[in-house]
Amino acid sequence: MAKLTYVTNVSLDGYIEDDRGAIDWFPLGDEVFAFHTHLLRSVGTLLYGRRLYEAMAVWETDAALAARSDLTADFASAWQAASKVVYSTTLAAASTADTRLERRFDPAAVREMKAAASSDLTVGGANLAAQAFQAGLVDECQLIVLPVVLGGGKPGLPTGMRADLELLDERRFENGVVHLRYRTLGQ
């Protein structure tokens, strides 16, 4: 059975967006960007909420973005190679290939996807990830912790629930970013 992993960038105090909804505080750098590409290449299906999907779709719909460098071309290629499932009640149609729209998050359908998949899946978007956590579907949680304190914003991890985790791996990057990989316990 494939794993479902929640992967997200977070501030040191646990936010994925600042209090204005902005994500312009990410100091990724080439080393971290390449690491994101490596993570992306390891999965076959991306489960997205609408907002994250719309932010990421440019990796397929804007050819100029991929043309900026070898690093961006590699990331665009990895992103386009994955299947996408987008959960949205408002999105009329997907703007990218190999993308399926779902109107609601159905835990049973995600369990079936995990059982049938030949490669792992990721879930992206804090609201969608919270639903996956609450349904007991998340096998791993990978946080890319950025060296900034925002003091408020949108939490990157679910609130109002407990999830016990076991640290599997960590990696420190030259720019102060830290990758933390956890396995969820009690699944």
pLDDT value for 3: 97
pLDDT of 23:
81
C-alpha–C-alpha distance, residues 132 and 151, integer Å: 26
Write down the pLDDT at residue 135.
96
Tokens 């995990």: give the residue: 114
Predicted confidence at residue 187, as pLDDT, reads 58
pLDDT given at position 98: 96
- 78 neighbors 45 (Cβ within 8 angstroms): no
Residue 132: what pLDDT?
97
Tell me the whole-structure pTM to 2 decimals.
0.93
Query: Residues 4-41, buried b or exposed e (16+ Cβ, 10 A)?
Result: bbbbbbbbeebbbbbeeeeeeebebeeebbebbbebbb
What are the chain's domains? 4-184 (3.40.430.10)
Tens-digit pLDDT string for the chain (187 aa): 899 999 999 999 999 999 998 888 776 789 999 999 999 999 999 999 999 999 999 999 998 988 999 999 999 999 999 999 999 999 999 999 999 999 999 999 999 999 999 999 999 999 999 999 999 999 999 999 999 999 999 999 999 999 999 999 999 999 999 999 999 997 5
What pLDDT sits at residue 27? 65
